[in-house]
Amino acid sequence: MSNTVIIIPSRLQAKRLPDKPLKLIKNKELILHVYDLAVKSKVGEVLVVTPDQIIAELIKNNGGKSFITKKEHHSGTDRIFEGFQDFFSSKSKVIINLQGDMPNLDPNSIVELNDYLNRGLCDIGTLASSIKNKDELLNKNIVKVVTKNRIEKSIYSEAIDFERDISSSKSQFIYHHVGIYAFTKEALMRYVKLKRTKLELERNLEQMRAMENKMKIHVGYVFSNPLSVDTNQDLSQVKKVMEDDTKS
């Protein structure tokens, strides 16, 4: 049995794009695309955690596993911890928090992140891709990660900052953050006991809670450009990319 579980937080009440998990891409709901790619990675059992009955039923009706959480959580990571404790009885050693809005993530990226975290070199592992142009760099809907060293050659490096507005940064190692986190069980249990921090609240970035409490986050590189769906514009872009992939 695998020591890893993948938990996908999902809810209907996204501020920028309400009902986001139910948006259709190629006649399939966004959350089902994410669930299917998680299963395809074969790194461990997959669970969707949600406060919304309609999402839970959608997953179950398509052969998946879901867990109804309480409605109020400060972050997706706090939500996955509830599901982890109740559904898995805290047995697994690695917990992957896969954001429920990345329908074109390569499943191999999950495999590689899981393999890295099992080496025991950090508390939390995550991924990043290249920033394609200045517009992307300045887009505040896109989270950027700054690393100590270059990661393009599949070398992991420690994260030194996460920010939406990185225009004033002088670092040369700035990447497009990919919304997936792999925690050791110990790191996840520590994280959810910490109080929300100043930068977490100011930037609306839950990873800052870990950063401000000196938890070590390592960042790996993915050569593809998985897209997060936060706005209608993002949704249109993802639809185009995924439809073009089908044609090619």
Length of the chain: 248
Grade residue 50 by pLDDT with cuts at 50, 70 and 90: very high
- pTM of the full predicted structure? 0.93
Q: What is the pLDDT of residues 67-87, one digit of tens each?
A: 999 998 988 899 999 999 988
Percentage of the chain modeled with pLDDT above 90 = 72
End-to-end CA distance of the chain: 37
Domain housing 92: 4-247
Query: Can you give the CATH number for the domain in which 53 is found?
Result: 3.90.550.10
Number of domains making up the chain: 1
Q: Which range, of 16-20, 21-25, 33-37, averages the lowest pLDDT?
A: 16-20
Burial of residue 1 (CB within 10 Å: 0-12, 13-18, 19+) is: exposed
Yes or no: say if 168 and 122 are a contact pair by the CB < 8 Å rule.
no
Question: What is the arithmetic mean of pLDDT over 125-130?
Answer: 96
Match 């040369």 to its residue by tokens: 172
What pLDDT is recorded for position 154? 76
More confident residue, 169 or 166: 166
3-state secondary structure 75-102: CHHHHHHHHHHHHHCCCCCEEEEECCCC
Confidence label for 133 from pLDDT (cuts 50, 70 and 90): confident
